[in-house]
Amino acid sequence: DAKTTQPPSMDCAEGRAANLPCNHSTISGNEYVYWYRQIHSQGPQYIIHGLKNNETNEMASLIITEDRKSSTLILPHATLRDTAVYYCIVRVGLAGANNLFFGTGTRLTVIP
């Protein structure tokens, strides 16, 4: 699976949008971009995933560049409960290849 790079930490004011970048310049054509987050001392929580189109769900939006070499996770109105480590993972999405490699992630701190 392709390697990803993320900034180690970011701060965001409560109520503002949090934009978390991820570089995945070696992503292959059949690899999806996944985002998970881990709140302190809990298991990871799935947020969103996409292949090449932008995606939105009730938690976040995922913007993938046209060349697919980078993406941005957007939390539109960050709350204190969004403070967590966010992991960007690329992997082949289809059945049979489902290992997840967790890099170091970005520690997002939402500030009151």
Partner 1 sequence: GAVVSQHPSRVICKSGTSVKIECRSLDFQATTMFWYRQFPKQSLMLMATSNEGSKATYEQGVEKDKFLINHASLTLSTLTVTSAHPEDSSFYICSASGGGLFNEQFFGPGTRLTVL
Residues that bind partner 1 (CB under 8 A): 32, 38, 41-46, 49, 87, 93-105
Residue 108 contacts residue 44 (beta carbons within 8 Å): no
DSSP class of residue 30?
T
Choice between 94 and 112, CB closer to partner 1: 94
> What does the H/E/C string look like for 69-95?
CEEEEEECCCCHHHCEEEEEEEEECCC
Q: What is the three-class DSSP state of 54?
A: coil
Least Å from the CB of residue 19 to partner 1: 22
Choice between 21 and 44, CB closer to partner 1: 44
Least Å from the CB of residue 43 to partner 1: 4
Least Å from the CB of residue 75 to partner 1: 19
